[in-house]
Amino acid sequence: MKVGIIRFPGSNCDDDAWFAIVESLKEEAVMLWHKDHDLQGADVVILPGGFSYGDYLRAGAIARFSPIMREVAAHAGRGGIVIGICNGFQIACEAHLLPGALLRNDVGYRSLPVTIRVESTDSPMTSAATVGQCLTMPIAHGEGRFTLPDAELDRLEDQAQVLFRYVDASGQPTAAANPNGSMRNIAGICNVGRNVVGLMPHPERAMDPLLGSRDGLVLFESLLATVNA
């Protein structure tokens, strides 16, 4: 598996993503500058976390017009896998690769470990997990409140595009377990084609017991299994 990690001005989880792919998975990764026009043959594109362009205007709004995003959209259009993590999720929504928007949290910036529940295994990032599996990993964002008009939200649920929900210790999606006010506790989704995935929590920062959790590993193992299938 070859993973292309896009580096925007202000990305700050690009090295974490590289570490997850190269050190934890022992797979190949290449850093791609946002002004590049070539994905260098990557099977998977990761849009990493950070504060691209200082979150000016809206988080992800400027990054989506970076030159390389044209190639990323073409890759997604061909069915190629694109993973947006945190700011990458915001960028993917702004680029209309994923539905919805990520608005300012209902209670300000949050940085803490959360528990998310896998809602569907029909995606490149959850294929090796099980439905109902609860994973602990960190979030760190000020704008992660997933928002979509109700009718579209119903369609998203009907098509099993919700991949992750924030839950409490007993696995229930309660209001108290929702760190940012996301509609229906949604933490991660995929597109209709199921090849573009976005999530606010950081699996790449939960790859080693030293980091407090290695629950992110199953998501990256899913990627590997999907690419090798």
Partner 1 sequence: MKLRVPVQVLPRHGILDPQGKAVTDALHTLGFAQVGDVHVGRHLAIEVEAASPAAASDAVRAMCAKLLANPVTEDFVIGAPEAM
Q: Tokens representing 85? A: 């993590």
Does position 58 interact with partner 1 (CB under 8 A)? The reply is yes
- 4-31 burial string, b = 16+ CB within 10 Å, else e? bbbbbebbbbbebbbbbbeebbebebeb
Does position 73 interact with partner 1 (CB under 8 A)? The reply is no
Marked catalytic residue, from 34, 75, 141, 202:
202
**Which of 94, 119, 204, 215 touches partner 1 (CB under 8 A)?**
94
Distance CA 168, CA 129 (A): 19
Q: Which C-beta is closer to partner 1: that of 105 or that of 123?
A: 105
Active-site residue, 86 included: yes
Q: Applying CB under 8 A, which part among 113-121, 145-153, 188-196, 203-211 lies near partner 1?
A: 145-153
Does position 61 interact with partner 1 (CB under 8 A)? The reply is yes
**Which of 3, 46, 103, 135 touches partner 1 (CB under 8 A)?**
103
Active-site residue, 141 included: no
**Which of 136, 147, 168, 211 touches partner 1 (CB under 8 A)?**
147
Does position 151 interact with partner 1 (CB under 8 A)? The reply is no
**Which of 149, 171, 193, 212 touches partner 1 (CB under 8 A)?**
149
Distance CA 66, CA 215 (A): 32
* Phi/psi of residue 55, nearest 5 degrees: 60, 20
Q: Applying CB under 8 A, which part among 27-35, 77-85, 144-152, 195-203 lies near partner 1?
A: 144-152
Does position 110 interact with partner 1 (CB under 8 A)? The reply is no
Q: Applying CB under 8 A, which part among 3-11, 67-75, 101-109, 168-176 lies near partner 1?
A: 101-109
Q: Look at phi and psi of residue 127 and say left if phi exceeds 0, alpha if psi is from -120 to 50, else beta.
A: alpha
Q: Which C-beta is closer to partner 1: that of 151 or that of 169?
A: 151
Active-site residue, 13 included: no
Residues in 21-50 that interact with partner 1 by CB under 8 A = none
**Which of 38, 65, 172, 174 touches partner 1 (CB under 8 A)?**
65
Greatest CA separation for the chain = 46
Q: Is 121 exposed, middle or buried (0-12, 13-18, 19+ CB in 10 A)?
A: middle
Binding residues for partner 1, rule: CB under 8 A, are 57-58, 61, 65, 94, 100-101, 103-108, 145, 147-149, 181
Positions marked catalytic: 86, 202, 204
